[in-house]
Amino acid sequence: MSLMEKLKRLFGSNTVRNNTPAIDSDIAIKVEHITMEFKVSNDKIDTLKEYVIRTIKRNKSESKKVKVLDDISFTIKRGEKLGILGFNGAGKSTLLRIIAGIYEPSDGKITINGKIAPLLELSAGFDKNYSGKDNIYLNGALLSMSKEYLDEKYDEIVEYSELGDYINFPVKNYSKGMKAKLGFSIATLIDPDILIIDEILSVGDIKFRKKSGEKINEMMAEGVTVLLVSHSINQVRRICDRCIWIDNGKMIMEGDADEVCDAYVEDANYAKIKKEKKLKRKLRKKYG
Ligand SMILES: Nc1ncnc2c1ncn2[C@@H]1O[C@H](COP(=O)(O)OP(=O)(O)OP(=O)(O)O)[C@@H](O)[C@H]1O
């Protein structure tokens, strides 16, 4: 998807983004009846030859819709730290991407009060043909920042990113680490009210990793709202006040972080025992 398409979708979507939230509003994010369907192809193309033949013959591949999020609703208060738990493929990252504005939901509404720092795909919003400088403005616009605000923050972002003169070079000449450093600097130096984290990141080299980790801890201590997806239950218990648990796109539990973590761990252990028993039965059947 091109940057223009992303911008168009961001500004014309059913997501309400209030960068300067009403002082009396204690709600940071309100997610109402979010549903997400993806179109997936039914076709199985095994070889490059098959792919080329299909493309030449312009054979239309069959596709079906798959629902990966089903009627998800929850609210996060300002300053609250909410964890999202769920097994692989449950729909956690899709939900974060919808909240961050990367995906448009098939149905439902999202209201966001405050500036968001989506620490997801840090260079996803970049246009590789433009310079780092231009991308600060493009990425800032994607995060709903005004040009005046970005003018104010520009020097600080460049300094934090440690890119030096590279900031004037096209992003296509950057290494993966350099892109991540720039993405992290833009997302966090706009003084975000809300941090969206899909697994705690390790950005750039060891020096920058330490610096970015400290920056996240500092923002958390200052009371920023956090939405965290992590497979580390200890991390979720340590950081989050509340949790939601998503299974197969449906929300199955919401509550105090420790309570939801306990139930989730118990379910994971139960699923593991069940799987082991099934395997033992299969082996017994086969080998007696
Ligand atoms: N762009 C896409 N097109 C089609 N299907 C998708 C797309 N993105 C995600 N999915 C599907 O949606 C489902 C949920 O994926 P998602 O990445 O949100 O899960 P997750 O809970 O974050 O998993 P994990 O813990 O493994 O990261 C999966 O079945 C995945 O295959």
pLDDT at 169: 95
What lies within 8 Å, CB to CB, of 77 at 6+ separation is 26, 27, 28, 225
Sign of the alpha-carbon dihedral angle for 220, 226, 230, 235: positive
Total tally of structural domains belonging to the chain: 1
The residue written with tokens 């709903």 in the block is 144
* 218: containing domain: 3-271
Q: Is 230 near ligand 1, meaning CB less than 6 Å away? A: no
CA 269 from centroid of its chain's CA atoms: 27
Q: Is 97 near ligand 1, meaning CB less than 6 Å away? A: no
Question: What is residue 29's three-state secondary structure?
Answer: strand
**139 in any annotated domain:** yes
**29 in any annotated domain:** yes
- Integer CA distances (angstroms), 63 to 44, 89, 220, in order: 11, 20, 43
What lies within 8 Å, CB to CB, of 265 at 6+ separation is 233
**284 in any annotated domain:** no
From 100, 99, 31, 93, select the one nearest 68 (Cα to Cα). 93
Rounded distance, CA 221 to CA 157, Å? 21
Rounded distance, CA 189 to CA 160, Å? 8
What lies within 8 Å, CB to CB, of 116 at 6+ separation is 17, 99, 100, 101, 143, 192, 193, 194, 196
How many whole angstroms from 97 Cα to the centroid of ligand 1? 11
259-283 confidence digits (pLDDT tens)? 999 999 998 887 777 778 888 888 8
Radius of gyration of the chain (CA): 22
**288 in any annotated domain:** no
What CATH code is carried by the domain that includes residue 120? Answer: 3.40.50.300
The answer to whether residue 231 scores a pLDDT higher than 80 is yes
Helix (H) or strand (E) run with residue 75 in it? strand 63-77
Percent of the chain whose pLDDT exceeds 70? 86
Q: Whose CA is nearest to atom 17 of ligand 1?
A: 93
What length is written for the chain?
288
Rounded distance, CA 42 to CA 40, Å? 6
**281 in any annotated domain:** no
The answer to whether residue 173 scores a pLDDT higher than 70 is yes
How many whole angstroms from 226 Cα to the centroid of ligand 1? 21
Q: How confident is the model at residue 144 (pLDDT cuts 50, 70, 90)?
A: confident
Rounded distance, CA 249 to CA 246, Å? 6
Q: Whose CA is nearest to atom 12 of ligand 1?
A: 68
98-107 confidence digits (pLDDT tens)? 998 888 999 9
Residue type at 72 in one-letter notation: I
What's the complex ipTM?
0.97
Q: Whose CA is nearest to atom 29 of ligand 1?
A: 89
Q: Is 38 near ligand 1, meaning CB less than 6 Å away? A: yes
Q: Is 63 near ligand 1, meaning CB less than 6 Å away? A: no
Pocket test for ligand 1, best of 37, 38, 87 (most atoms within 8 A of CB): 38
22-73 confidence digits (pLDDT tens)? 555 799 999 999 999 998 876 666 677 777 777 777 666 677 889 999 999 9
**286 in any annotated domain:** no
Q: Whose CA is nearest to atom 2 of ligand 1?
A: 38
Do the Cβ atoms of 248 and 94 come closer than 8 Å? no
**78 in any annotated domain:** yes
**170 in any annotated domain:** yes
pLDDT at 40: 83
Q: How confident is the model at residue 13 (pLDDT cuts 50, 70, 90)?
A: low
